[in-house]
Structure 1
Amino acid sequence: MNSTGAPDGLQGSVRRPTAAARGGFTLLAACLAACLVVTPAPAEESPVSRPPQLERDVEFWIRVYTQIDTDAGFLHDQYNLAVVYDTLHFEPTTTPGERERVVDRERERYGAALRRIAAAGDGPLPADDQRIKDLWGAEGTPSRLHAATEDIRFQLGQADRFRAGLIRSGAWETHIAQVLANLGLPAELAVLPHVESSFNPAAYSKVGAAGLWQFMRSTGRRYMRIDSAVDDRLDPFRSTEAAAQLLAYNYRVLGTWPLALTAYNHGTAGVRRAKETLGTDDIVRIVRSYNSRTFGFASRNFYVSFLAALEVDRNPEKYFGSLQRQSALKFQEVQLPAYVSMPTLERALRIEPEKLRALNPALTHAVWDGRQRVPKAYRLRLPLDGTSWTRELLAQRLSPGEMFAGQSAPPRYRVQAGDTLVRVAARYGVSADTLARMNHLRVSARLRVGRTIDVPEAAAVTVASTAAPAPAAPAPAAPAAPAPTAPAAPAPAPTAAARAPAPTPSAPAVVAAAAPHAPVFTISVGPASAGGAVSAEVAQRESAEDAAVAAAARTRTASAGAQPVSAAQAEAIGPALGPALDAEQNADPIDYSVAHDDSIRVTGDETLGHYADWLGVSTAHVREINHLRFGRRVLIGQHIRLDFRKVSHEAFEARRREYHRELQASFFAAHRIVGTQLYVARPGDSLWTLTQRATQMPLWLVQQYNPDVDLADLRAGTQIVMPRVEEVGSGG
């Protein structure tokens, strides 16, 4: 290891957070394919702004991405990124443990130096201490330098990983640019995968995010197919279309692209809370001044690390010299006429498995090892080798006994007391890793007694022959799986919806109608993978697992965030080149927290009965403290006072979030968002008429797309963004 002093030219000042604060409707547009209408910005002004006040932060991440690789790192102040105390270099053979000891030793050394400088005041200093003091400039008061002893952070270099990502990006950059252009989104968003995954489509993070755009399962199911046979998060083409939808949604809710991008890391609700707390959408003020337990180093630095990636991506020769990006992938697609096993397809197509696997990354391990069939109607990608494949030609190459009407169902095992994944895996003669992959679990996951899990067949998988159509015709559609129970439509009971025109809620709406800067759009995207419905139980379980893992990761990366010292440690945390995740990826913009006066704001599909259950009191008691007559409905946006003598705020909030997480997981187990439409309310319209005219549309989803609209008191002329939802079958 060797170290060099920080270079000059990166000095500045920052207002450091205090220690205490760290801690019919008229249809305006037809459903035009791939169309997003946004008021264009002047040609010379990018909607993805680079504020001068954040320049030093951007420059820091440019240095991380281009000047030092994963065998070096910066020792720096976590709040003032212009203050880089030292650059630590390691030999490639140095173990992570040895590197950690060096980092700890140097952190202590610089902490001691800061204490000496603070104690010396204006007195003379040794040369190195004077260098450190000069880094702080006018901000380096004794109290500020003393506080800085707790903020020394290590940032591993990423130049080698970023360069590799630049080369990989060529395979998909044309498709990404087309998707963004078709939806009217800024072209700059195309570089986001640099920060998320270094353009690695097979990337997985420790919190369960996957693919080029690092989707969690619960968020991904809003837009993509994610089941035991197909995981579209790993498909760069499908996941790009989903990411564009999510980013457009974030922008619609938050109003600016800096906030929409920050929400990709911190969650829509978290950024919306920051915006409302400070009363501004200025990214500089939010980054510099917003204090929250979950708005840590990663969230503060996500947007500036994106801007750094944008700078490097647009000027690669400046930072890396000449490099050749991969050529765009070229392939043909054939739609499967039935459920077919992969070994059968390999034989019929006469294509090497490695080539098929490279072109079809969304197909899961269960498909490649024969436990699941490639689904009917799946668009299988094939090399351009001269043979022009069609659905009919493929059907002719397959025998009736090789085409199936449904998916193969793996055997199930009911967990007994004392079972672990390792123990069950040994019983069936497979590795714990294999069994964990079959069930979308981690090897360390605890198995609940009574739960059923997938297990391998006792013998080699044999697909039995079933009745099939003539070779040239497609197989009959698989029977649809029972749809999970959707949230019930509002009834005269006290629900958070208004059946008839409702009186104005007692509390004023946060914002009246759509903000002037919010985009007006109708959006449609190309077809996602057909089918993909899963059971509500599976969707709820996976959503709960995602939330639990993300919560554990937040605990581990609190304060200055994760600080890996080697490439292996960084990749074990996740593929991101930027700072590690602070909050669970979540598209839900609703704030489910309790206000300081023990009140909450009613959201869709909530009732007084829910509040009573979560508080451990009677519904009559909740009515009494809110002076509500029996039979009077509560309205979305209405303030309700609650009694927290039996339950803490934290416990209530956890139960409330869990209810909505399960509600949303159940819905997206069998539904998918395929676009949006914009409506304008007419006199006499209400939220009830809105949801009745849009089939399969739960109240909470309408509210998520319109969080700042007073849905309980719709006024003529109010703009409502309506998500377009399709029901997803279990098959193709």
Structure 2
Amino acid sequence: MGLLLSGRPARAWNPGGYPALSEIMLDSLNSAIRWLATCVLLVGLLQSSPASAFVEVRQHKMQCSAAFPCPWELQDRVNFWIDIYSRWDSQDAVLHDSVVPSRVYKVIEGRACGRKGNTAFIKDQKKRIAAELHTLAKKVDRKSPVNSAYQKHLLKLFPERSGADIRRAAGDIRCQSGNRDGFASALRRFGTYGPMVRRVLKNSGLHSDIQYLPFVESSYSPKAYSRVGAAGLWQIMPATGRTLGLELDATVDERLDPEAASWAAARYLKDARKTLTVAAQAKNNRVSHSELSPFVITSYNYGVNGMRRAIKKIGPDYMQVINQYRSRKFQVAVKNFYAGFLAARHVARNQKRFFGDIKPGRPLQYQTLILDRQVSIARVQSIFGLSEAELKVLNPALTRFVWHGWRFIPDGYKLRLPRRQDSWSNHVARLRMMPFETRQGGSVEYTVRTGDTACGIAAAFRADCRELIAINGLNRKAVIRVGQKLQVPAKGRSRSRVAQRGRYEIQPGDSACIVADHFGVDCDDLLAANGLHRGSVLQVGASLVIPGTIPTAPGGSYTVGQGDSACSIASRHGISCDALLAANGLAKSDLIFPGQTLTVPGVAAPGTSTDRASAQEPAQTLAYTVVGGDSACRIAARFQVPCRRLIADNALGKEALIRPGQSLTIMGVPASLARSYSSSAKVAKVAVASVEAKSSADAAWSKIAESVGDSSGSGLSGVSPLDRPIDLSVQTSAVDGRTLYRINVEPEETLGHYSDWLHLGGVTKIRELNGYDATQVLASGDALLLPVADRMQRDTFERRREEYHRVLVEEFKENFEVTGANEYKIQSGDSLWVLAREFELPIWVITRYNPELRSSPPRAGKSITIPRIRSRQG
């Protein structure tokens, strides 16, 4: 085939000068074969290595300025990001060197990084490239010839021809999706929001080139929401938002308001430049404004304190910092942030060259109405004749709590309406003439909407999730469907409390079945134990016997440590918080202190049985036939055995699914209880005299609980950890004649939040009470005293705190879904911040799946659960 491709065979002599027929036929045949061989070769190349595999990053002529310089050492990085933004689409995978981004090994069309179904393929491609690099490194070391086309391409990427560098690169292969289509869409949005951003920058005294930063942050989308919880056009984190003066509560998230967020970003950038100027001048007092610009831009991703530390260690030379600074947090995204900014600026300035004519979006035009009262979104739509979609475009800061009708738009909110000639004057007058809206007391009926969850709805209405599940007859996973009508119990109901062991004091609004569900017992069993029937009326303050509630085994105790809370201790021991509080005569609001000894119900002292049956009463093993309406835990409660043990003994799996007619083995049933059921057709005695608690059953349950993600005993084991309520109450205690109020700090909380929720007007009182200076940084799990004046102030604080965290959950769920979970063993040096960066998750998501991390730091060697998430936007 090589001969045919290189030329025709020598012709035979022909005295007439005309080609013989045989020669014509031979020429035709040779031409056909040459054409066919060429096609085969091309197809082979396409199959073995995509046509784009030998791509090199293009060289682009930059247009730099004194305000934002382009160091020549950064040129190759900038070229790479220009190609990402303008050359390859979001469906293309660019496999490149993470240390030297412009070193592109292969571009694979239609196989975007991180997309469902592509992971294994991309991983295989990385292995193949790594193998090629290792082979190439050996050849370079041995000075052997490099013959294959692909290895010649790879060798060109290493001009210094160092085998060691090539081997290092084999371990640093990274996948980056293109973004040409995304950047084109961003340019359209730039037309809508760019004028507003430029106005804010000008009024803030900042350079207009900063208008290109949102291309890198959010592709100019005010709806953007990152895996770690940053939101909006400027990708602001919740805690940072409060520091920059943005509102984030149940009704409003100003991070999603492009104008409010732009003012916040401008404030950050101005403050960052001041802070970094001081740090830089301490190292070199001749550093220029221009030299600091790369640090200021990079700090928007890495944080101003991180850049200050880098300057302090290396000095105010940006390229030296990029090449020499070492920190676990100073990785690929940080090192490429300024280069990405320069690339975005170049592409946006030259959009016609890269994209042709793109029709920009129309700038927003609106009028603002400052509300003088709270008002429902339904009333606004009715009076102004506007659809939800029209209002959402202009008011993106309003949360789903408002759009779903769970909360009113607050008074003082600047409501944006489409611009009109008459300024909506008649409509505004009509609004102000209408009576004030108030919430009705008692239970309400709610129609489920897309994205709702049972516990999310309960939290929105300030109701107990377990009660909502019980009165609506939901299953253990609390599954609901769009359009379903739910009864939401009245808000503010007191939490259930045990008056004494085995008894419960009835609270306002209780029903027998709600109480039964709370304690995990069958409603009919509770009624029978108290001589009641379905129509019986419960009297507030009366006492109910709870069947299956057994006194605490003697000797179980726990000594409170630093950072502990009552509920974190309960979670650690696999019991409910209510049970631990009741066993110690505590209320949810009571304060506990390091060194204090608590009784842990159900925890046996050394040498005692962990079975619930007493030592004097032999346990029995029964066979039970499941009937309609049964659940595993209700059956376990009925026979006074641990639910976890019943699940493990019958290998029911993490879902604990049972079906009518199924036979279950129930071990460890007290003899007297077994006798009372002996006449039932559903129960048969198994010939085993007694049963001891088995460690294998406990181990099996631990695995089940771990996979389900619930060890709290909350009664919501089938519900996602994101939806389970967490204890955010203020703890109190009387010390030296005065009442102390204490909380444990949660992720994304700041002193500013606490000041807002307590209406203090500043953080000074909190700092003084805790002995903090201005440099003190809060960490998740820290114990903090609060300057609370009265019960009303405390209640307001708790309500606003719970709503804040509920909004974080709801916004996250709107943008991401949990697809599973992996086990991870904590390494030395891991902190919550490091884990969040490593797995690209908000810290609060990690602590929801691992409640013990709410009160204590990660400990090396311990295994934790890391959820896998996927964007709902595809």
Q: Scaled by the length of structure 2, what TM-score is found?
A: 0.48
Provide closer, same or farther for how the CA distance between residues 304 and 289 of structure 1 changes in structure 2, counting only shifts above 3 A.
Answer: same
Letter matched to residue 176 of structure 2: Q
Among candidates 345, 350, 364, match of residue 315 of structure 1: 350
Q: Measured at CA, do residues 497 and 141 of structure 1 come closer, stay the same or move farther in structure 2, by a change above 3 Å?
A: closer
1:159/1:538 CA distance change after superposition, 3 Å: same
1:170-185 equivalent positions in 2, closer than 5 A: 170-185=191-206
Question: What residue number does 1:108 align with?
Answer: 127
What is the one-letter code of the residue matched to 1:340?
Answer: V
Residue 66 (1) aligns with residue 86 (2)? yes
- Structure 2 Cα separation of the partners of residues 496 and 164 of structure 1: 46
Deviation at 1:66, TM superposition (A): 0.7
Q: C-alpha distance in 1, partners of 2:357/2:774?
A: 60
Aligned equivalent of 2:317, options 245, 262, 282: 282
Structure 1 residue 483 corresponds to structure 2 residue 759:
yes
Per-residue deviation, 1:533: 9.6
Equivalent position amino acid for 1:287 in 2: I
* Residues 493-552 of structure 1, C-alpha deviations (whole Å, 9 max, x = no match): 987589xxxxxxxxxxxxxxxxxxxxxxxxxxxxxxxxx999674499689999998654
1:394 aligns with 2:428: yes
Distance 2:310 2:240 in 1: 21
Could you say what secondary structure the match of 1:76 adopts? strand
Offset at residue 384 of structure 1 (A): 2.0
CA distance in 2, matches of 1:130, 1:110: 13
**Aligned to 2:463, what secondary structure does the other structure show?**
strand
What code does the residue aligned with 2:162 have?
Answer: T
2:272 aligned residue:
250
CA contact (8 A) 2:94 2:106 kept: yes
Can you give the 5+ residue segments of structure 1 that lack an aligned partner in the other structure?
12-42, 453-479, 499-531, 558-572, 574-580, 585-646, 653-732
Is 1:445 aligned with 2:480?
no
Displacement, 1:249? Answer: 1.5
Deviation at 1:445, TM superposition (A): 1.6
Uncovered stretches (5+) of structure 2, i.e. residues with no partner: 1-46, 278-291, 443-458, 492-718, 730-755, 776-795, 813-829, 845-855, 861-874
**TM-aligned CA distance change 1:451 to 1:157, over 3 Å:** same
2: CA distance between counterparts of 1:492 and 1:534?
Answer: 19
Q: Match of 2:303?
A: 267
In the other structure, the counterpart of 1:331 is 366
Partner of 2:54 in structure 1? Answer: 6
Q: How far did 1:107 drift?
A: 1.6
Kept in 2, the 8 Å contact 1:58–1:305? The answer is yes
- Partner SS state of residue 101, structure 2: coil
Q: Is 1:355 aligned with 2:377?
A: no
Structure 1 contact 208–216 (Cα < 8 Å) conserved: yes
Match of 1:412 in 2: 462
> 1:459-487, CA deviations, whole angstroms, 9 ceiling, x for partnerless residues?
xxxxxxxxxxxxxxxxxxxxx97425944
Q: Is the 8 A contact 2:728 2:798 kept in 1?
A: no
Aligned partner of 2:107 in structure 1 is 87
Q: Do the aligned partners of 2:233 and 2:256 also contact (CA within 8 Å) in 1?
A: yes
Deviation string for 1:605-660 (max 9, x for gaps)? xxxxxxxxxxxxxxxxxxxxxxxxxxxxxxxxxxxxxxxxxx99x989xxxxxxxx
Task: Report SS of the residue matched to 1:56.
Answer: helix
Q: Distance in 2 between matches of 1:431 and 1:288?
A: 58
Using the alignment, how far apart are the partners of 1:213 and 1:58 within structure 2? 21
Distance 1:365 1:156 in 2: 31
**May I ask how many residue pairs the two structures share in their alignment?**
467
Letter of the 2:266 partner, please give it: A
Q: Give the residue type in structure 1 aligned to 2:402.
A: V
Q: Deviations over 1:333-362 (max 9, x none)?
A: 111121111111222222233212221111
SS at match of 1:171: helix
Could you tell me whether the CA contact under 8 Å between 1:10 and 1:82 is conserved in 2?
no
Q: Which residue among 216, 220, 235 is the counterpart of 2:241?
A: 220
CA drift at 1:102? 3.0
Between 116-125 and 182-191, report the one with greater CA deviation.
116-125
Alpha-carbon separation, structure 1, partners of 2:431 and 2:181: 46
CA distance in 1, matches of 2:343, 2:132: 31
Name the CA shift for 1:142/1:539 in 2 (closer, same or farther; >3 Å). farther
The answer to whether the aligner puts 1:292 opposite 2:327 as a matched pair is: yes
2:185 paired residue among 164, 167, 174 = 164
Instruction: Return the letter of the residue paired with 2:303.
Output: G
Q: Does the CA-based 8 Å contact 2:728-2:801 persist in structure 1?
A: no
Q: Which has the higher contact order (CA 8 A, sep 6+)?
A: 1
Instruction: Tell me which residue corresponds to 2:698.
Output: none
Check conservation: 2:249, 2:804, Cα contact below 8 A: no
Give how far 1:491 is off.
Answer: 7.2
TM-superposed deviation, 1:428: 11
Note the C-alpha offset of 1:105: 2.6
Task: State the shift of 1:386 in Å.
Answer: 2.8
Cα contact 1:74–1:88 (8 A) shared by 2: yes
Letter in 2 for 1:276: K
Q: Does the 8 A contact of 2:249 with 2:800 survive in 1?
A: no
Q: Distance in 2 between matches of 1:143 and 1:271?
A: 31
Quote the residue 2:262 is aligned against.
Answer: 240
Deviation at 1:82, TM superposition (A): 2.4
Alpha-carbon separation, structure 1, partners of 2:251 and 2:727: 25
Q: Which amino acid in the other structure matches residue 117 of structure 1?
A: L
Cα distance in 2 for partners of 1:534, 1:200 equals 33
SS at match of 2:157: helix
1:78 maps to which residue?
98
Q: Please tell me whether the aligned partners of residues 334 and 382 of structure 1 are also in contact (alpha carbons under 8 angstroms).
A: yes
Q: Aligned in 2, Cα 1:494/1:73: closer, same or farther, shift over 3 Å? A: closer
1:205 aligned onto 2:226? yes
User: Is 1:120 aligned to 2:139, yes or no?
Assistant: yes
Cα RMSD between the aligned structures? 4.5
Letter in 1 for 2:394: L
| Cα 1:88–1:481 shift into 2, 3 Å | closer
What letter matches 1:58 in structure 2?
Answer: V
Give the distance between the partners of 2:89 and 2:323, measured in 1 at CA: 28
Counterpart in 1 of 2:338?
303
Superposed displacement of residue 237, structure 1: 1.2
Q: Determine which structure has more spread, i.e. the larger CA radius of gyration.
A: 2
Most deviating of 533-542 and 300-309: 533-542
Q: Distance in 1 between matches of 2:468 and 2:324?
A: 50
Code of the aligned partner of 1:113: E
Distance change >3 Å, CA 265–CA 496, structure 1 → 2: closer
Question: Where does residue 666 of structure 1 map in the other structure?
Answer: none
In structure 2, what is the Cα distance between the partners aligned to 1:274 and 1:187? 27
Cα 1:152–1:126 shift into 2, 3 Å = same
Distance 1:430 1:271 in 2: 50
Question: Judging changes above 3 Å, is the alpha-carbon distance between structure 1 residues 423 and 173 closer, same or farther for their aligned structure 2 residues?
Answer: farther
Contact 2:757-2:801 at 8 Å conserved across structures: no
Could you tell me how far apart the structure 1 residues matched to 2:157 and 2:299 are?
A: 32
Closer/same/farther in 2, CA of residues 549 and 424 from structure 1, 3 Å limit: farther
- SS in structure 2 at match of 1:318: helix
Which of 48, 55, 64 is 2:75 aligned to? 55
Distance, in Å, in 2 between the alignment partners of 1:379 and 1:111 is 56
Q: Which residue matches 1:606? A: none
Q: 2 CA distance for matches of 1:71 and 1:492?
A: 55
Question: Percent identity of the aligned residues?
Answer: 28
**Alpha-carbon separation, structure 1, partners of 2:125 and 2:340:** 25
- Partners of 1:212 and 1:307 in 2: how far apart? 18
Higher mean C-alpha displacement, 400-409 vs 303-312 = 400-409
* In structure 2, distance between residues paired with 1:543 and 1:216: 13
Structure 1 contact 61–308 (Cα < 8 Å) conserved: yes
TM-score, normalised via structure 1 length? 0.56
1:132-171 equivalence runs, <5 A: 132-138=154-160, 140-171=161-192
Q: 2:401 aligns with which of 366, 375, 383?
A: 366
- C-alpha separation between the residues in 2 aligned to 1:323 and 1:428? 41
Matched residue of 1:75: which SS?
A: strand
The 2-side partners of 1:208 and 1:49 are apart by 31
Write the distance in 1 (CA, Å) between the matches of 2:467 and 2:437. 40
Which digits, 9 at most, give the CA deviation of each residue in 1:129-184, with x for residues without a partner? 1221121101x301111111101111111101111111111111111111111111
- Output the CA distance in 1 between the equivalents of 2:224 and 2:395: 15
